[in-house]
């Protein structure tokens, strides 16, 4: 039995290398002096090994501010959107009401709208309504994702029994009370799944923070890294170091939520 597995593991290891090699290359490169980064053949172990890139990144650039900005914004956006999606998903899943079909259809259609199209109008609207402060506006595009509503709606239909809700209503529980005490706890896995997705959306976004943020100290990571890489000035060494650190929060979140992610996906949007 184990012998038959050898080819399987062989394939898995090859895939692992293919998927991780670029990141490992970046990791190793981030510890090399600039002149060695593109050396051929590639040297897996940096020699000489240097922390200089990281030191210059931390001392010469407001890197940790970018990092903090990105992470905090992504976390807030994730939390808000997951909550909003759960609410709306529940509304769509467990109630019948006038206009439901239309409202649902309108939301569905928004899945196919490219963000570049609404960029400028959205920006103008936010500024004209006085909501253009980065802390608020950075979060806006990610708080009402149709994708999330769907996922939640699907999951709730599957995993929240009507009988439980009815019983609670008969006991006189308020609608929001039911949502908070009964529905939300049942949703935990799919909330995790949605959270990972939402986090990535916000964390990796470039165009929106670019238009929005003017103060360099309020830059997000993708924006900050981009400034190290403009036109003729390719600060590869710093970019590699920055990109390596930038991967950490997203992977950490994945590792933390992977159980939920798996359950959430399987029982949510997926189960027939």
Where in 15-44 is the site for other proteins (CB under 8 A)? 15-16, 18-20, 22-23, 25-26, 34-35, 37-38, 40-42
- Sequence-separated (6 or more) residues with CB below 8 Å from residue 102: none
**Locate tokens 């029982």: which residue?**
267
Residues in region 122-161 near other proteins by CB under 8 A: 122-128, 132, 140-141, 143-147, 149-151, 153-154, 157-158
| C-alpha dihedral sign at 43, 48, 49, 55 | negative
Closest CB 124 distance from other proteins, rounded Å: 5
Instruction: Tell me how far, at minimum, the Cβ of 49 lies from other proteins, in Å.
Output: 19
Looking only at residues 93 through 112 of this chain, which bind other proteins when binding is defined by CB under 8 A? Answer: 93-97, 100-101, 103-112
d(Cα 269, Cα 272) in Å, to the nearest integer?
A: 8
CB of 51 to other proteins, least distance (A): 19
Which of the ranges 14-22, 45-53, 71-79 carries the binding residues for other proteins, by CB under 8 A? 14-22
CB 81 within 8 Å of CB 191: no
Least distance from C-beta 32 to other proteins, angstroms?
Answer: 13
Of 45 and 96, CB closest to other proteins: 96
Q: Find out whether 200 and 78 touch, Cβ atoms under 8 Å.
A: no
Residues within window 239-258 making contact with other proteins, judged by CB under 8 A:
239-240, 243, 246-247, 250-251, 254-255, 258
Least Å distance, CB 28 to other proteins, is: 12
Q: Which one among 75, 88, 187, 191 touches other proteins, defined by CB under 8 A?
A: 88
What distance in Å separates the CA atoms of residue 119 and residue 30, rounded to the nearest whole number?
A: 34
Q: Is the dihedral of CA 63, 65, 69, 72 positive or negative?
A: positive
Distance from C-alpha of 165 to C-alpha of 149, rounded to nearest angstrom: 20
């Amino acid at each position: 039995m184990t012998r038959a597995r050898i080819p399987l593991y062989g394939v898995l290891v090859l895939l692992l290398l293919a998927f991780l090699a670029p990141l490992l290359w970046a990791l190793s490169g981030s510890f090399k002096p600039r002149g060695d980064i593109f050396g051929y053949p590639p040297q897996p172990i940096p020699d000489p090994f240097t922390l200089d890139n990281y030191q210059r990144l931390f001392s010469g650039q407001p890197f940790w501010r970018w990092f903090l900005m990105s992470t905090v914004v992504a976390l807030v956006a994730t939390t808000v959107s997951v909550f909003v999606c759960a609410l709306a998903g529940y509304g769509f899943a467990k109630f019948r009401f006038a206009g439901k079909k239309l409202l649902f259809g309108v939301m569905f259609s928004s899945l196919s709208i490219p963000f570049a199209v609404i960029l400028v109008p959205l920006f103008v609207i936010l500024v004209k309504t006085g909501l253009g402060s980065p802390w608020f506006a950075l979060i806006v595009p990610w708080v009402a994702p149709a994708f999330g509503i769907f996922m939640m709606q699907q999951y709730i239909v599957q995993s929240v029994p009507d009988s439980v809700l009815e019983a609670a209503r008969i006991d006189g529980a308020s609608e929001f009370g039911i949502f908070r005490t009964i529905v939300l706890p049942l949703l935990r896995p799919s909330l995790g799944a949605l959270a990972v997705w939402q986090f990535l959306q916000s964390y990796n976004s470039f165009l929106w923070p670019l238009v929005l943020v003017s103060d360099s100290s309020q830059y997000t990571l993708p924006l900050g890294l981009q400034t190290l890489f403009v036109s003729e000035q390719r600060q590869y060494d710093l970019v590699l170091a920055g990109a390596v650190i930038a991967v950490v929060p997203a992977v950490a979140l994945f590792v933390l939520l992977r159980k939920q992610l798996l359950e959430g996906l399987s029982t949510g949007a997926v189960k027939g």
